[in-house]
């Protein structure tokens, strides 16, 4: 659907500055938004972004000025943005399953709240509990005594093994496996003897997990994904890892056993972390980096093995100039030899 | 089965040169083929490959000469190779499902062409359309309004979310997820607010996709996999990526959001591409490379961050000699100090 | 559950040295064990580890001495450790399916041993054979003529394609695909023509495979995973790879086509191996390494491209000092120029 700037202003009770007939059909962050999209500026200190944005219409704090831009001034731009997004999507079709499909296999010892939706061929084992508002698509597996909080959304073919705990509003995409055994062995007489993995996994409120992710259960205790953390596709989370709140773990990253992440940590794509280290709050690991040591809060690292990002960039720049440096060395040697001959 | 060189010659109406009683039981590319395998040479400019090939029998253009080799001269070697391969495999058992299994759950609002095969427990949602000749194995999920062109082959446990479009002759291997939500958030008051992913995925004719691959739907528009492109296992394709025709994307490679690939691009295994860049036609990204900038047509890159492959090799060679260079520097310093003492 | 040191000593018929009332509730390797855990020392030559271990109680060879530590002396510490672990877990609940679920779809041409368990919605195709003691969870797919030896344990949503062979006591975690087509094409007139993948996969006794792993079938022959090898989550094994016995392949590693691994090889996380190379017995590939050449038995490599680990560490150390080296070169140049001016 499309909506005019004037209609958005009416919807969010804002003050329109500029062209009220401008139409938007989508929305995005202020850096990525295009001409026909709505964006927002949360804080007036970011006003310089207004000069560069392609966004057709921007929700802004009350005092904001940017001549030539179509703005809508509001008290709380982020809140108004959410309202406008929901409005833009209100006519989108809803493909979610409803009710309990007759082919679902639900143990009489499981508790499914009335109103929860269970798709075709989904299996709910003994002692599992599914709270109200949950939607499970087709072909899922919910193991024994696993708990889903309210309003979880589970796409087709997700496996939640036994005794996994999900908070409220958790979203899990297709093909993801939560609660598989950790990779733990003790080598006895040349054979790798399996160390039983009898812990569990706790996924807190508002976590979203992408497709074909693997999250292993802890050996004894629990693997934890903190509130509001978002995990992209094909990520590996090993046993006993603890991830804090509001982290972003991008596609194909991997975290080895017993490593702890603070809050607001970012792991870019294909990053790898060894086991038994600590990653401080707000730390950032660049793509493909291999982290072998603990990282302090706020630190940014890059490379394999990872180093502070400034060092990594400086070293990479030097590596690009090695040819020149080698020439310099050879030239110096020639000049020194000349002296020695004299 | 086995077949003699003479029988192959008869089959493809070619001219036999050499030992007609030589038996082959398989086939391969000319560089990989073994003694008991059939290969082909598409163009006489590659004749030098004949001297090195292990292949027992080679299909070649009409004028080709290679003393000591068993050759079959034909007008179109690649066409004849296809004929011979199909003949060699004609007695292989066919394990594909037939008809519609009684446990499949097919919406009365879906359209399944007569003759299409739907395996056990596969689910076809409202508005999905499956054209003639399609074969879907067991435990698949086909979402609302998703379209499969003619003769698609979908292995067990594939998820095609809603509104995905497949062309003709698309092959998808088990565990692959097409149309999961892109990884898109806007951070509002310290929380990552989900940006709805309401676009779709278009997979063109003759694409083959390996096992446990993830291909995300676009935010608004569509993620595109171009005609004839082949994707290996465990690859990640993010939202709004557009891949051209006849590309090869090898295992565990990943492409971040909104990056565009031209035609005939090759991404080797475990390569990673950042978002919002352009990869020109025929570009080659070596294994484990991390591409952070656009690449021109035909360019080859290697390393993390990726550089033109010649620079990367030269720099790597220098890195192997750093020990020696450091010795040279220290030696020069000593000699300079000696001068200075005098 | 908890158990006292004295009770463990009685259980394994060992000699208690130290505090018999000390309670343990878990177990681990001697380097990782914590205060409330049981560990073991297989060989008295590792006695120095006793000084550092946090383990509350340690099973040790008969003559071992370590003042202040609670030890239990036995003839065969590793065997006694296994006994104690089994005892500690004997009351753990068993979540495995039993019998054949009525929704399972089992071909009348398949053979399932009496006593084997087949979970809900699992599909067993024509000619498949499942030996006694096997447990298959829900939503699995077992293809035509695939064979499972005794006591295999297959978690939900595993795909075993046609003609795959599993030995005894094989464990496979959820979402794993065994026997998908290898990635093989021949380019004919600008199109990638599929080379049929008609081989199979052999998985020997006591192999364990993690979640969302992909193991491709061979082109003609077979892909082999040797006895006792353990494979972590999201690993890629390409067609015609042969892995020896008792290897450890850690998460997100990938092995390209036709590469052979000896016995006791370790591939750390996110390592990648090119095709057609040989990795000797006991070789170790460090995390994120990219192996482009064959590796001799016992060799350890690191880096991308991978080098002997000592060279890689030395070169990395040099790279960290490039800034300093460049300063040295510039300083030398200045001093040489000074000479030249005189």
pLDDT single digits (tens) C271-320: 999 999 999 999 999 999 999 999 999 999 999 999 999 999 999 999 99
B141 closest CB neighbour out of A79, A156, A329? A156
- Residue A117 falls inside a structural domain: yes
Give the range of the structural domain holding residue A61, as residue numbers without chain letter.
Answer: 3-88
Tokens found for residue A86:
């929901």
DSSP-derived pairing of the beta strands A37-40 and A57-61: parallel
DSSP-derived pairing of the beta strands C185-188 and C191-194: antiparallel
What does the mean pLDDT of chain B come to? Answer: 94
**Residue C218, pLDDT score:** 92
Bridge partners, A165 (sequence order): A147, A202
Same domain for A172 and A259, yes or no, is: yes
Same domain for C129 and C194, yes or no, is: yes
CA distance C59 to C73: 6
- Residue A320 falls inside a structural domain: yes
Find the catalytic residue in C87, C121, C173, C239: C239
CA distance A111 to A130: 6
| Catalytic residue check, C101 | no
- Top-confidence residue, B307 or B336: B307
DSSP-derived pairing of the beta strands A147-148 and A153-154: unpaired
Mean pLDDT of B126-140: 98
Domain CATH code at residue A33: 3.40.1390.10
Contact flag C206-A193 (C-beta cutoff 8 Å): no
**Residue A94, pLDDT score:** 86
Report ipTM (2 d.p.).
0.90
- Residue C68 falls inside a structural domain: yes
Taking 3-state DSSP, the helix, strand and coil percentages for chain A, each rounded to the nearest 5, stand at: 20, 30, 55
**Residue A106, pLDDT score:** 98
Do residues C179 and C215 lie in contact, with contact meaning Cβ atoms separated by under 8 Å?
yes
Find the catalytic residue in B144, B239, B276, B318: B239
Contacts of A318 in chain C (CB under 8 A): 319, 322-323, 326
Q: How far is A188 from chain B (nearest CA, A)?
A: 33
- In this structure, the number of other CB atoms found within 10 A of the CB of residue C115 comes to 12
Tokens found for residue B37:
């395998």
Contact flag C81-A272 (C-beta cutoff 8 Å): no
Label residue B83 by pLDDT band (50, 70, 90): confident
B95 closest CB neighbour out of C162, C307, C311? C162
Contacts of B161 in chain A (CB under 8 A): 155-156, 174
**Residue B294, pLDDT score:** 98
CA distance C99 to C116: 6
CA distance A251 to A262: 19
First to last CA, chain C: 85
Contact flag A319-C323 (C-beta cutoff 8 Å): no
Mean pLDDT of C137-144: 98
Q: How far is C219 from chain A (nearest CA, A)?
A: 26
Q: In what order do the strands lie in the sheet with A248-249?
A: A117-118, A135-136, A153-154, A171-172, A208-209, A230-231, A248-249, A266-267, A284-285, A300-302, A307-308
Mean pLDDT of C73-92: 86
Tokens found for residue C131:
């030996």
Residue A106: its H or E element: strand A105-106
**Residue C46, pLDDT score:** 82
Same domain for C144 and C268, yes or no, is: yes
Same domain for C324 and C300, yes or no, is: no
DSSP-derived pairing of the beta strands C159-160 and C177-180: parallel
**Residue A189, pLDDT score:** 83
- Residue C94 falls inside a structural domain: no
Residue ending a domain, among C39, C61, C88, is C88
Contacts of B162 in chain A (CB under 8 A): 95
Range scoring the smallest mean pLDDT among A310-324, B75-89, B234-248: B75-89
CA distance A187 to A197: 16
Domain CATH code at residue B133: 2.160.10.10
Residue ending a domain, among B43, B62, B88, is B88
CA distance B96 to C53: 56
- Top-confidence residue, A219 or C141: C141
To probe the interface with C, which of B55, B138, B231, B336 has the most C CB atoms within 10 Å? B138
Contact flag B139-C144 (C-beta cutoff 8 Å): no
Contacts of B193 in chain A (CB under 8 A): 78, 82
Residue C221 sits at the vertex; the CA angle it makes with C215 and C223, to the nearest 5 degrees, is: 25
Same domain for B84 and B112, yes or no, is: no
Contact flag B251-C236 (C-beta cutoff 8 Å): yes
Same domain for A175 and A272, yes or no, is: yes
CA distance C34 to C280: 35
Q: How far is A192 from chain C (nearest CA, A)?
A: 7
Range scoring the smallest mean pLDDT among A199-208, A287-296, B30-39, B276-285: B30-39
**Residue C313, pLDDT score:** 96
**Residue C276, pLDDT score:** 92
- Residue B283 falls inside a structural domain: yes
Same domain for B163 and B73, yes or no, is: no
Burial A266-287 (b: 16+ CB within 10 A, else e): bbbbbbbbbeebebbbbbbbbb
Do residues A77 and A60 lie in contact, with contact meaning Cβ atoms separated by under 8 Å?
yes
Same domain for C295 and C258, yes or no, is: yes
Do residues C84 and C12 lie in contact, with contact meaning Cβ atoms separated by under 8 Å?
yes
**Residue C83, pLDDT score:** 85
What does the mean pLDDT of chain C come to? Answer: 94
- Residue A195 falls inside a structural domain: yes
Residue ending a domain, among A43, A58, A88, is A88
DSSP-derived pairing of the beta strands B185-188 and B191-194: antiparallel
CA distance B139 to A17: 54
Same domain for C133 and C214, yes or no, is: yes
Residue B220 predicted with pLDDT over 80: no
Contacts of A332 in chain C (CB under 8 A): 329, 332-333, 336
- In this structure, the number of other CB atoms found within 10 A of the CB of residue C203 comes to 29
User: Which chains are adjacent to chain A, needing at least 3 Cβ pairs under 8 Å?
Assistant: B, C
Residue C71: its H or E element: strand C70-74
Contacts of C232 in chain A (CB under 8 A): 183, 236
CA distance A29 to B195: 9
Label residue C174 by pLDDT band (50, 70, 90): very high
Residue B154 sits at the vertex; the CA angle it makes with B150 and B159, to the nearest 5 degrees, is: 115
CA distance B237 to B218: 10
Contacts of B79 in chain C (CB under 8 A): 188
Same domain for A155 and A250, yes or no, is: yes
- Residue C54 falls inside a structural domain: yes
C103 closest CB neighbour out of A105, A180, A190? A105
Label residue B198 by pLDDT band (50, 70, 90): confident
**Residue A193, pLDDT score:** 87
**Residue C338, pLDDT score:** 87
Residue C220 predicted with pLDDT over 80: no
Quick one: which of C276, C234, C278, C231 has its CA closest to C257?
C276
- Scan for tokens 């004028």, then name that residue: B63
**Residue B26, pLDDT score:** 86
Do residues A139 and C155 lie in contact, with contact meaning Cβ atoms separated by under 8 Å?
no
CA distance B308 to C185: 27
Label residue B98 by pLDDT band (50, 70, 90): very high
Same domain for C241 and C118, yes or no, is: yes
Beta strands in B210-303 (DSSP E): 214-216, 222-225, 230-231, 236-237, 242-243, 248-249, 254-255, 260-261, 266-267, 272-273, 278-279, 284-285, 290-291, 300-302
DSSP-derived pairing of the beta strands C165-166 and C147-148: parallel
User: Which chains are adjacent to chain C, needing at least 3 Cβ pairs under 8 Å?
Assistant: A, B
Q: pLDDT tens string for chain A (342 positions)?
A: 789 999 999 999 999 999 999 999 888 888 888 999 999 998 888 888 999 999 999 999 998 999 999 999 999 898 898 889 888 888 778 899 999 999 999 999 999 999 999 999 999 999 999 999 999 999 999 999 999 999 999 999 999 999 999 999 999 999 999 999 999 988 878 999 888 888 899 999 999 999 999 999 998 789 999 999 999 999 999 999 999 999 999 999 999 999 999 999 999 999 999 999 999 999 999 999 999 999 999 999 999 999 999 999 999 999 999 999 999 999 999 998 888 887
Residues of A carrying an active site annotation: 239
**Residue B264, pLDDT score:** 98
pTM for the predicted model, two decimal places: 0.92
Do residues B288 and C290 lie in contact, with contact meaning Cβ atoms separated by under 8 Å?
yes
User: Which chains are adjacent to chain B, needing at least 3 Cβ pairs under 8 Å?
Assistant: A, C
Q: How far is C313 from chain B (nearest CA, A)?
A: 11
A336 closest CB neighbour out of B270, B318, B335? B335
**Residue A339, pLDDT score:** 82
How many structural domains is chain B composed of? 3
Bridge partners, A3 (sequence order): A24
- Residue B98 falls inside a structural domain: no
To probe the interface with C, which of A122, A186, A277, A342 has the most C CB atoms within 10 Å? A186
Same domain for C33 and C110, yes or no, is: no
**Residue A14, pLDDT score:** 96
Contact flag A272-C288 (C-beta cutoff 8 Å): yes
Q: How far is B36 from chain A (nearest CA, A)?
A: 39
What percent of chain C clears pLDDT 90, i.e. is strictly above it? 80
**Residue A202, pLDDT score:** 98
């Amino acid at each position: 659907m499309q909506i005019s700037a004037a209609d958005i202003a009416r919807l969010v009770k804002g003050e329109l500055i500029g062209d009220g007939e401008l139409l938007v059909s989508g929305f995005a962050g202020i850096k990525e938004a295009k001409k026909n999209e709505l964006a927002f500026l949360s804080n007036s200190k970011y006003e310089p972004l207004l000069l560069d944005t392609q966004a057709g219409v921007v929700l802004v704090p009350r005092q904001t000025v940017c001549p030539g831009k179509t703005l809508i001034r509001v008290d709380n731009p982020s809140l108004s943005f959410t309202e406008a997004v929901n409005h833009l999507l209100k006519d989108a079709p809803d493909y979610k399953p409803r009710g309990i499909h007759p082919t679902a296999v639900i143990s009489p010892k499981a508790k499914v709240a009335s109103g929860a939706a269970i798709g075709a061929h989904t299996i709910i084992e003994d002692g599992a509990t599914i709270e109200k508002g949950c939607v499970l698509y087709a072909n899922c597996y919910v193991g024994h005594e696993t708990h889903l909080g309210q309003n979880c959304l589970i796409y087709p073919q997700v496996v939640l093994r036994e005794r996994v705990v999900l908070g409220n509003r958790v979203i899990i995409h297709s093909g993801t496996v939560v609660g598989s055994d950790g990779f733990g062995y003790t080598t006895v007489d040349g054979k790798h003897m399996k160390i039983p993995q009898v812990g569990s996994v706790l996924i807190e409120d508002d976590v979203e997990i992408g497709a074909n992710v693997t999250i292993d259960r802890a050996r004894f205790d629990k693997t934890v994904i903190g509130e509001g953390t978002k995990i992209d596709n094909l990520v590996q989370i090993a046993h006993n890892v603890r991830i804090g709140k509001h982290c972003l773990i991008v596609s194909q990253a991997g975290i080895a056993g017993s490593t702890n992440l603070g809050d607001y940590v970012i792991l870019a794509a294909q990053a790898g972390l060894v086991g038994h280290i600590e990653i401080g709050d707000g730390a950032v690991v660049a793509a493909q980096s291999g982290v072998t040591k603990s990282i302090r809060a706020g630190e940014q690292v890059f490379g394999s093995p990872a180093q502070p990002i400034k060092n990594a960039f400086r070293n990479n720049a030097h590596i690009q100039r090695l040819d020149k440096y080698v020439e310099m060395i050879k030239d110096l040697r020639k000049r020194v030899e000349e002296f020695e001959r004299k």
